Amino acid sequence: MIDLGLGKNRLGGSALAQALSQLGDESPDIDPDLLKRAFRAVQQMISEEVILALHDRSDGGLLVAVSEMCMASNCGFLIHVNSHEATLAELFSEECGWVIEFDAEKRDKIEEICSKHNIKFDWIGCTLSDEKCIIEAPGFNVLFKDFIYNIRHFWEATSLELEKQQTTPDCVESEDQAVPKWPIGPKNTWGYYKTFEPEKTSDEVVRSTDKPKMAVIRDEGTNGDAEMRAAFFEAGFEVFDFAMTDLLSGRVTLDELQMITFAGGFSRMDVFESAKGWAGIIRENEKLSSMFDRFYNRQDTLSLGVCNGCQLMALLGWIPEKGLAREIQPRFIRNFSEKFESRWTQVEVLPSPSVLLAGMEGSKLGVWVAHGEGRVFFPDESIAKNVREQNLSPLAYVDPYGNVTERYPWNPNGSSDGVTALCTPDGRHLAMMPHPERCFRLSTWSWMPASWQKLEASPWLRMFQNARVWCAEHKQ
């Protein structure tokens, strides 16, 4: 711990005091010069890569900070306190200070940096590879012992009560029960697995003057277009930005493009339910409907719909195949949790004819989701059977052990068989609820196995590169 409270442990105004219906008589204060020196010390630790994690103790105290750090990896901890008498103050005072985690062999370097900046540094304990949480006083007297999943249960208790007011109760219970079943220890891979080695797009491809042309199409309320354009640009496309008003006015057409992507977001504020307003603009305008049909039917084109764009492609009747009657067209409906879900979750790339996911089959990857209506619904069971038989569902939610799941929260919307994407039999058109464009760079991943942090590129970049390679090979 880097103590910026000068050895004091004042409890006035703390969460502990409030929990005991007290106010306290002395609150923490801070020395600005000490804070400045400590900040510089931490920046040096980061730049020299000797620090693994950091958390402040000013929102709940030392015990809360350490507990929250270990919840992130579902591992345990051992903390040493200085005395029996001052245990509560030491564990729950909200003086300014930081808990840092580092590899044992880096301790001398940490102490050297703190000494250089005249910062007090105390070794207070260690991370454990199992789920036990222990607090010891001098003489190795155990003052507290429990498991991280129990601590997390206490920590989340208030939030769970609030969740019951806005979420399907079964989902709240499922998430609460799921915590003890998460893999234990900082070295686990949480079911992550890749079947290929991600590579950056070569400079030659990025700088080429003869790139396939694609456009990200957006409507009022879409918000995923910027990162989508960035992903396709980094994969080697010549990228255009088309608003629906551009198409309506005739300023642009789809005729010279090889690929289009319908961006995610909340088109028309989802007033008519997700993407229905957007779909109506296209379906009910003869000029637009004809333009999109021509693009779809050309054999040198690809399309991708993500989130709101996925819902749009379903409403347009583009997936899993064109020509289905509207009353039996698969669509994406309200999440079983009855609320908007924004989470980092995991999916498996399943065998399918999808062009964009070629060579990625068998990989189990983390990905962002952000939707309120992502549960796939088949009004006609024969269509669902056809999807299964032809492998037209290329992505499925998996649990931390890598198993396809319908369980909340790992499956955030309740889709049967974990289904979260549909493609056409020829593989040219793909609709998916997760957001690969939000993690086509490793820096935007919420979590990954330690061994993946040195990858050359994000595994999701492969999806956009696949599109570029296919377009280049099928250019007419």
User: Does 153 lie in the same domain as 297?
Assistant: no
Tokens of 269: 């504020």
The per-residue pLDDT for 173 is 92
Q: What is the CATH number of the domain that holds 311?
A: 3.40.50.880
Can you list the positions of beta strands (E) in 185-340?
213-218, 238-243, 259-262, 302-306, 331-333
User: Does 248 lie in the same domain as 371?
Assistant: yes
Low-confidence ranges of the chain (pLDDT < 50): 186
User: Does 393 lie in the same domain as 336?
Assistant: yes
Q: Crossing angle of helices 308-316/276-283, nearest 10°? A: 40
Burial class (CB in 10 A: 0-12, 13-18, 19+), 142: exposed
- Model pLDDT for residues 5-22, shown as the tens digit of each residue: 988 999 999 999 999 999
What domain range is 38 assigned to? 2-181
Q: pLDDT exceeding 90 applies to what percent of the chain?
A: 86
User: Does 224 lie in the same domain as 147?
Assistant: no
How far apart (Å, rounded) are the C-alpha atoms in residues 23 and 377? 53
User: What is residue 423's three-state secondary structure?
Assistant: strand
User: Does 110 lie in the same domain as 208?
Assistant: no
User: Does 123 lie in the same domain as 30?
Assistant: yes
User: Does 129 lie in the same domain as 61?
Assistant: yes
Catalytic residue (one of 55, 117, 371, 435): 435
User: Does 285 lie in the same domain as 217?
Assistant: yes
User: Does 209 lie in the same domain as 165?
Assistant: no
According to DSSP, the residues that pair with 142 across neighbouring strands are 136
The per-residue pLDDT for 188 is 60
User: Does 221 lie in the same domain as 172?
Assistant: no
- Model pLDDT for residues 336-356, shown as the tens digit of each residue: 999 999 999 999 999 999 999
State which of 148, 181, 214 marks the end of a domain: 181
User: Does 47 lie in the same domain as 115?
Assistant: yes
Sign of CA pseudo-dihedral 445, 448, 450, 453? negative
User: Does 107 lie in the same domain as 213?
Assistant: no
Catalytic residue (one of 75, 133, 171, 307): 307
How many domains would you assign to the chain? 2
Q: What is the CATH number of the domain that holds 36?
A: 3.90.650.10
Largest CA distance in the chain: 82
191 inside domain: no
How far apart (Å, rounded) are the C-alpha atoms in residues 167 and 174? 11
The per-residue pLDDT for 340 is 95
Give yes or no: 435 in active site: yes
CA dist 388 to 141, 373, 398, Å? Answer: 59, 22, 17
The per-residue pLDDT for 176 is 87
The per-residue pLDDT for 177 is 86
Give yes or no: 437 in active site: yes
Residue 14: half-sphere exposure toward Cβ, Cα within 13 Å? 29
The per-residue pLDDT for 183 is 64
Query: What predicted TM-score, i.e. pTM, was given to this entire model?
Result: 0.87
375 inside domain: yes
Give yes or no: 371 in active site: no
Contact predicate 257/295, CB 8 Å: yes
